[in-house]
Structure 1
Amino acid sequence: MNAEEILARLVAFPTVVGRPNDEIVSWIRAYAEGVGATVTVLPGPEGDRANLFATLGPRDVPGYVLSGHMDVVPAGEPEWSSDPFRLRRDGERLYGRGSSDMKGFLAAVLAALPALGARRLARPIHLAFSYDEEAGCHGVPHMIARLPELCAPPLGCIIGEPSGLTPIRAHKGKAAVRLAITGRSGHSSRPDQGLNAIHAMAAVLNEAVAQAKALEKGPFDGSFTPPFSSLQVGVVQGGQGVNIIPDTCAVELEARAIAGVDPMRLLASIKAEAVALAKEGFGIEWTLLSSYPALSSRENESLATLLSELTGHDPIAAVSYGTEAGLFEAAGLPAIICGPGDIARAHRPDEYIETGELAACQMLIEAIGARLQAEDHNSM
């Protein structure tokens, strides 16, 4: 099967984040095993979702990990020109949910497997396909924890998020939380008999705004745009009517941190403001929605050099969005972002990837395989 045919099969699996993914995992497993890969399915604690890890070449020597996620964001927008879960070709564009983010990368990797399998690889290529990345990288930590039993410590990890096949060396870390405050309802004419959860939340929101402003003063890292960590409240919910004392109010907020800064630490003063409300009789629920560390450029120089040589693109220093790369780096694996497509096409109607982008990515994977065939165990 060529990359376009494989992509059509992958897009047809409606692997929306948070839903079961056994069908796509089974299909990829059968395909990869059919071309000689050793495949391990790694069920997650949810019970209906799994990661997949596959290897071509010897497992007992260091090689490269090709990492991507199998889940996609929902596709309920009415602006879609066609069924988002049926790949549609129009000229050189291939439309479908996940075509750029990031089933295009998975398809290119899988299309390259027969050529890789035909080589006598001195070092392995591993496939690390995860679930629920779009929920905040929920699946991949379970797979990373199992790596010591699956392979020798890798040389590095290439995360195939859409980057126009340009290596990206760093990204910000992120933490997102939901805060729910519970008060006591009543008629608005008797505020003395109730506990207004929205009024209580105002103190928390003031602290969030103050913290966001303070972050603009540094510390700075000029690799990023903006060059400082950031914080925002993205969702506020509460109240039933203007004449009812609101007994609940909830917010969702996030912090995005430059390398070297813990995103959870940026939320600490806001959490403290919320916890203090308990002394006034309010109920407080602080729930972590997602968290992943920043990716720095300290350990991926050799990966950047390799990919720059093979793609012809100079590395980009940093981007402000996040990926699973930070989690691989935190586990001691050098990591870098490099994949086909464009992040600007992701998470929107009529998402697409170009056939030339698929072909270029497949050529890149095969070129990495050629390096692993040509090099002996001591030369990399």
Structure 2
Amino acid sequence: MTPEDILTELIRFPSIVGRPNAAIAGWIADYLARFGVTAQILPGPEGDRANLFATIGPRDVPGLILSGHMDVVPAEEPQWSSDPFLLRAEGDKLFGRGTSDMKGFLAAALAIVPALAGMKLARPVHIAFSYDEEAGCRGVPHLIARLPSLCALPEAAVIGEPSGMRPILAHKGKAAARVEIHGRSGHSSRPELGLNAIHAMGAVIAAAEKTASALQAGPLDAVFEPPYSTLQIGTVRGGEALNIIPDRCRIEIEARAIAGVSPAALLEPVRAALAGLEARGFATDWQEIASYPALSLAAQAPIARMLAEVTGTEPLPAVSYGTEAGLYQAAGIDAIICGPGDIARAHRPDEYITRGELADCARLLERLCTAFTRPGR
């Protein structure tokens, strides 16, 4: 099957983040089995979602991971020109949800499996496809935790997020949380009888604003824009009517941290402000939404130099979006971002990838895998 044929099949699966994914994982496992490659379906704790892992070549030698996620964001925007889960071709463009982010990479990686399976590889190539990346990289930590029982610790991982096939060395880490305050309702004419959750949330918001301002002083890393860690509240919800004391208020907050800074630690002043409200009679709740570390790979790392040679482009120092790459690096695996398509097309109506991008990715991945796995490298 060509990369386009495979992409056609992958797009048919509405593998929306947070939903069961047995159908797409099963199709990929069946595809790999045609070439004698056994896929491990690794269920996550949710019970209805799973990661997929497969090895081509010897398992007891450090190898190369081709990493991608099977989930996509919803496609409910009315601006779609056609069914987002049926691949539509228009000239060189292939439209559908996930074409750029990131089923195009999955299709290209799967397309080179027959060639890899026909080689006698001295070092393995691993296929590692995760679930719920779009919900804050929730699936891949469970896959990484299983690696010691699946293979020797891999040497490197290529995370195929859309980058125009330009290698990327770094991104910020992220921690996000949903924060809720529960007070006591009542009529607004008797505020002393209630506990106003919106007023109480003001202390939490003030702590977040103070922290965000302080972060601008550093530490700094010039490869990022902005060059400092950031913190922001993205949503606020609370209250039912003007004359009702609001008994609940909820915010969603995120921190993005430069390399060497813990994203979760940036949220601690906010969490401390929340804890202080309990002494005043409020109940509070802190729910983690997302958490992943920053990526920071040296430009001279072997996988970075190899990708630069294969693609003909020097690595980009950093990008603003986050990926699973930081989690692989935290596990002791050199990780780098490089995939087809454009991040600017992701999460939008009429998302697309071009036939040329798809073919180039398959060609370059085959060259990379051949170079990486050659004897005596």
TM range (shorter): over 0.9
For 1:342, the aligned partner's letter is: D
1:298 positional shift: 4.0
8 A Cα contact 1:169 1:300, kept in partner? no
Counterpart for residue 86 of structure 1: 86
Residue 114 to residue 57, structure 1, CA distance change in 2 (3 Å): same
1:39 positional shift: 1.4
- 1:101 and 2:101 correspond: yes
- 1:7 and 2:7 correspond: yes
Counterpart for residue 302 of structure 2: 302
Q: Deviations over 1:148-176 (max 9, x none)?
A: 11111111000000000000011100000
1:369 positional shift: 2.8
8 A Cα contact 2:64 2:372, kept in partner? no
For 1:82, the aligned partner's letter is: S
For 1:222, the aligned partner's letter is: A
- Alpha-carbon distance in structure 2 between the residues aligned to 1:312 and 1:136: 32
- Alpha-carbon distance in structure 1 between the residues aligned to 2:155 and 2:263: 27
1:38 positional shift: 2.5
- Alpha-carbon distance in structure 2 between the residues aligned to 1:128 and 1:300: 25
SS at match of 1:264: helix
- Alpha-carbon distance in structure 1 between the residues aligned to 2:358 and 2:268: 43
How does the TM-score come out when normalised to structure 2?
A: 0.98
SS at match of 2:322: coil
- Alpha-carbon distance in structure 2 between the residues aligned to 1:212 and 1:370: 46
Counterpart for residue 43 of structure 1: 43
Counterpart for residue 149 of structure 1: 149
1:349 positional shift: 0.5
Counterpart for residue 171 of structure 2: 171
Percent identical pairs in the alignment equals: 62
8 A Cα contact 2:169 2:299, kept in partner? no
- Alpha-carbon distance in structure 2 between the residues aligned to 1:371 and 1:34: 25
- Alpha-carbon distance in structure 2 between the residues aligned to 1:167 and 1:298: 12
1:358 positional shift: 0.5
8 A Cα contact 1:44 1:142, kept in partner? yes
SS at match of 2:211: helix
- Alpha-carbon distance in structure 1 between the residues aligned to 2:56 and 2:368: 13
Residue 9 to residue 250, structure 1, CA distance change in 2 (3 Å): same
1:124 positional shift: 0.8
Counterpart for residue 257 of structure 1: 257
Matches within 5 A, 1:1-380: 1-298=1-298, 301-373=301-373, 375-376=374-375, 379-380=376-377
For 2:328, the aligned partner's letter is: F
For 1:266, the aligned partner's letter is: L
1:218 positional shift: 1.1
- Alpha-carbon distance in structure 2 between the residues aligned to 1:251 and 1:226: 24
1:372 positional shift: 4.0
For 1:322, the aligned partner's letter is: G
- Alpha-carbon distance in structure 1 between the residues aligned to 2:58 and 2:316: 32
- Alpha-carbon distance in structure 2 between the residues aligned to 1:370 and 1:333: 19
- Alpha-carbon distance in structure 2 between the residues aligned to 1:300 and 1:292: 24
1:36 positional shift: 2.1
SS at match of 2:101: coil
- Alpha-carbon distance in structure 1 between the residues aligned to 2:67 and 2:127: 6
1:299 positional shift: 8.5
1:119 positional shift: 1.5
Deviates more, 1:206-215 or 1:272-281: 206-215
1:300 positional shift: 6.8
- In structure 2, runs of 5+ residues without a counterpart are none
- Alpha-carbon distance in structure 2 between the residues aligned to 1:308 and 1:98: 26
SS at match of 1:214: helix
1:100 positional shift: 0.3
SS at match of 2:94: strand
Deviates more, 1:361-370 or 1:81-90: 361-370
1:180 positional shift: 0.3
Q: Which runs of 4+ in 1 moved over 3 A?
A: none
8 A Cα contact 2:169 2:295, kept in partner? yes
- Alpha-carbon distance in structure 2 between the residues aligned to 1:177 and 1:299: 33
- Alpha-carbon distance in structure 1 between the residues aligned to 2:223 and 2:368: 28
For 1:316, the aligned partner's letter is: L
Question: What is the count of residue pairs matched by the alignment?
Answer: 377
- Alpha-carbon distance in structure 1 between the residues aligned to 2:24 and 2:297: 33
